[in-house]
A and B are shown apart, each in its own frame.
Chain A
Amino acid sequence: MILVYVETSAEGVSEVSLETVSFARGLSAAGNGVPIDAVVAGPVPEGSASELAAYGVRTVHHADSDDFDRFSGAASAAAVVAAREAAGSVVVMAGGTNRGNEVMARVATQLDVAMAANVVSFGGLSPFVVTRQVVVGAALEEVKLSRRPAVFSIAGHAVDPTPAAEPAAGTVQPLAVELSAADLAVRVVSVEHAAEDDSGSLKTARIVVGAGRGAGGPDGFAGVVELAELLGGSLGVSRVVTSLGWRPHHEQVGQTGNRIAPEVYIPCGISGAIQHWAGCASSKVIIAINTDAEAPMMTKATYTVVGDMHEIVPAINEEIRRRRG
């Protein structure tokens, strides 16, 4: 049996968790249709169970005591371990988010097995070999998971989230988890919801205008901020920009910043280092503006404009305003 640790929010099942269940279906098919179960620690929002059913989940093991209201990595791991014992799973996986990786690492440590983070595909089943991203996907590592359960996380966007051809039952089953004082010692005390600013809600933005070192300094962002406003989009920046203190860190796109997936990303003066690419690779269309036609961002983009962003961006803004009258 395959067990997936599913993350939910008030909006429902997270995209990464749906990707992970989709990955699990591939594994299930290779293993003669072994069933897929999910484990949720905390509230299961309305409609989530049927969504998981549509993705092929047989049983949703639901740890729903008040103890799970605020996140605790140890408590979530205890729920996963309890569900795995109840269902006898040989594979345990989660989406490769910070939480997913943390919970999988805790589960693996407790069960004294390995944990492979950010898996993109599986090779043989016996021995069980998975391929995972290292150096933010600039290289891949094939790693053998010889003990059971095989514990790993799935890299974001490694697979498309697709519903199953045949939905499964998606029966919600309460899961009793015995938690120790230690499991609850480390829990989120409070959450401060992020204030809206120039970055808007970057992660979910349909349009993102990006700016990197090419902006030239803290005063070099007026054009890109205006373009983002004109397009009703958000501003995203490279790490050089946040490191130099030109813009706040929460606007950063990349491995150690936000992962964005907009319809259109317009990176200006960003070279496109792998760590930046890791955060913007899921953009549907990329229009790159750069003085260097050979910059990695320019070769990976869908469309390019060669030249100085300080001339090109204001010209685009002007043209948009002109057409709007």
Chain B
Amino acid sequence: MTNVLVCIKRVPDFSGEVLLSDDSQSADARFVGYTLSNHDSCAVELAVQVATATGGQATVLSVGAAESVEQIRSALGVGCGAAVIVEADPVTLGPADVAREVAAVVRDHEAGPDGGTAYDLVLLGNDAADSGDFQVGIRLAHELARPVVTGMQTATVTDGTVRLQGDGPEGRETYEVPLPAVVTVMEGGVEPRYPTITGRMKAKKITVETRPCAQAPAGSGRVRLTLPPPTPSSAELLGEGPEAATSVVDLLNRLGVGR
């Protein structure tokens, strides 16, 4: 039985334009709404897969605004069985703060009643879609004195060992790590499942544990956010429809790639 803890971050849903808050300290998500960081959705999927395969439970955790409950609910809807929100103003959090708060929850739950809950596997995204710090998982592993593998796409647990695969610079890499361990996940290996109606119903009944920060956040050292200057379009129209094929091939020939 492997109990899995999966850490998710509520992030603004950027696929178009990014707007900044008036004080330049955060992104303005009023017009785009919030979502789960994409690697995190895959981490949730892997957490549910491992918990289901081993008869354990997947617990989902987020550090941040109380509204993170939206993203927590979506993880509960696809099979996580318990949830924790550590409430904090997201602007005040740096990656080290998040790692410390997650570690505090892990230790606390392990020391809980009836022998507590031991999380043999802690999953996170490789990098958050907004801040892209690439480090919470590594800092968390350090706090917990556990091994960490980054950027993995699949995970299977057998006999206290997790077998992981992901893309390395020279091809598909395999790791085998004894549990307990921390793993950061990249999208591409699994397809996050959609919540079912029964899944959603079950999720509604689960009480989300809400707790304050264990320690005051130290912050990220952010001075301010800016937007890169827009690059003026200098695109040259070659034509419209299939008639443009001649000009395209002329161009390819000029570029030396058409022949």
Do B20 and A143 touch across chains, with their CB atoms under 8 A apart? no
Complex Cα–Cα for A99 and B171 (A)? 13
Do A136 and B132 touch across chains, with their CB atoms under 8 A apart? yes
Indicate if B197 sits at the interface (CB-CB under 8 A): no
Indicate if B198 sits at the interface (CB-CB under 8 A): no
Do A264 and B257 touch across chains, with their CB atoms under 8 A apart? yes
Enumerate chain B residues within 8 angstroms of A99, measured Cβ to Cβ: 169
**Which A residue's beta carbon lies closest to that of B256?**
A263
**Which B residue's beta carbon lies closest to that of A145?**
B221
Indicate if B176 sits at the interface (CB-CB under 8 A): yes
B258 contacts which of A9, A105, A307, A320 (Cβ < 8 Å)? A320
Do B169 and A7 touch across chains, with their CB atoms under 8 A apart? yes
Enumerate chain A residues within 8 angstroms of B151, measured Cβ to Cβ: 98, 102
Indicate if B174 sits at the interface (CB-CB under 8 A): yes
Tally of A interface residues using CB under 8 Å: 91
Kindly supply a per-residue 1/0 record for chain A positions 131-175, scoring 1 wherever the CB is within 8 Å of any chain B CB and 0 otherwise.
101111111111111100000010000000000000000000000
Enumerate chain B residues within 8 angstroms of A306, measured Cβ to Cβ: 237, 239-241
Indicate if B53 sits at the interface (CB-CB under 8 A): no
Whole-angstrom distance between the Cβ of B180 and the nearest chain A Cβ: 12
Enumerate chain B residues within 8 angstroms of A135, measured Cβ to Cβ: 14, 18, 27, 129-130, 132
Enumerate chain B residues within 8 angstroms of A256, measured Cβ to Cβ: 38-39, 186-188
Whole-angstrom distance between the Cβ of A232 and the nearest chain B Cβ: 8
Enumerate chain A residues within 8 angstroms of B237, measured Cβ to Cβ: 293, 303-306
Indicate if B195 sits at the interface (CB-CB under 8 A): no
Whole-angstrom distance between the Cβ of A182 and the nearest chain B Cβ: 7
Kindly supply a per-residue 1/0 record for chain A positions 223-258, scoring 1 wherever the CB is within 8 Å of any chain B CB and 0 otherwise.
000000001010000000011010001101000110
Enumerate chain A residues within 8 angstroms of B39, measured Cβ to Cβ: 256
Whole-angstrom distance between the Cβ of A282 and the nearest chain B Cβ: 14
Indicate if B244 sits at the interface (CB-CB under 8 A): yes
Interface SS, A side: mixed
Whole-angstrom distance between the Cβ of B18 and the nearest chain A Cβ: 4
Enumerate chain B residues within 8 angstroms of A101, measured Cβ to Cβ: 127, 134-135
Do B236 and A304 touch across chains, with their CB atoms under 8 A apart? yes
Do B132 and A134 touch across chains, with their CB atoms under 8 A apart? yes
Enumerate chain B residues within 8 angstroms of A129, measured Cβ to Cβ: 223
Do A117 and B221 touch across chains, with their CB atoms under 8 A apart? no
Do A285 and B170 touch across chains, with their CB atoms under 8 A apart? no
Do B221 and A146 touch across chains, with their CB atoms under 8 A apart? yes
Enumerate chain A residues within 8 angstroms of B30, measured Cβ to Cβ: none
Complex Cα–Cα for A60 and B154 (A)? 36
Enumerate chain B residues within 8 angstroms of A188, measured Cβ to Cβ: 168, 173-175
Enumerate chain A residues within 8 angstroms of B246, measured Cβ to Cβ: 319
Do A305 and B240 touch across chains, with their CB atoms under 8 A apart? yes
Indicate if A29 sits at the interface (CB-CB under 8 A): no
Q: Which of B70-78, B115-123, B142-150, B209-217 is near enough to bind chain A?
A: B142-150
A117 contacts which of B134, B188, B222 (Cβ < 8 Å)? B134
Enumerate chain B residues within 8 angstroms of A293, measured Cβ to Cβ: 237
A187 and B169 in contact, given A137-B228, A139-B27, A307-B240 (Cβ under 8 angstroms): no
A117 and B168 in contact, given A142-B224, A143-B221, A231-B252 (Cβ under 8 angstroms): no
**Which A residue's beta carbon lies closest to that of B12?**
A135
Complex Cα–Cα for A285 and B256 (A)? 12
Residues of A participating in the B interface, judged by any CB pair closer than 8 Å: 7, 9, 14, 71, 73-74, 97-99, 101-102, 105-106, 108-110, 114-118, 129, 131, 133-146, 153, 182, 185-194, 206-207, 231, 233, 242-243, 245, 249-250, 252, 256-257, 263-264, 273-275, 285, 287-288, 293, 298-308, 311-312, 314-316, 318-320, 323-324
Residues of B participating in the A interface, judged by any CB pair closer than 8 Å: 14-18, 20, 27, 38-39, 94-96, 126-127, 129-135, 138-139, 142, 147-151, 167-178, 181, 186-188, 191, 220-228, 231, 233-246, 248-249, 251-252, 255-259
**What are 30 residue pairs bridging A and B, where the CB atoms are less than 8 Å apart in the complex?**
A7-B169, A73-B148, A101-B127, A101-B134, A109-B139, A114-B96, A136-B132, A137-B228, A138-B18, A138-B228, A139-B20, A139-B27, A141-B222, A141-B225, A142-B224, A144-B222, A144-B223, A192-B174, A243-B191, A250-B167, A252-B188, A274-B16, A285-B255, A288-B235, A299-B233, A302-B234, A303-B237, A305-B237, A312-B245, A319-B245
Beyond A301-B235, A316-B245, A319-B245, list 18 extra A-B contacts (CB 8 Å). Answer: A97-B169, A98-B126, A114-B96, A117-B127, A135-B129, A139-B18, A144-B221, A146-B221, A185-B178, A186-B181, A193-B170, A302-B235, A303-B236, A304-B236, A304-B238, A306-B237, A312-B242, A315-B243
List 10 A-B pairs, minimum CB-CB distance, nearest first.
Answer: A315-B242, A315-B245, A105-B135, A299-B233, A101-B134, A142-B223, A192-B172, A193-B171, A307-B241, A105-B138
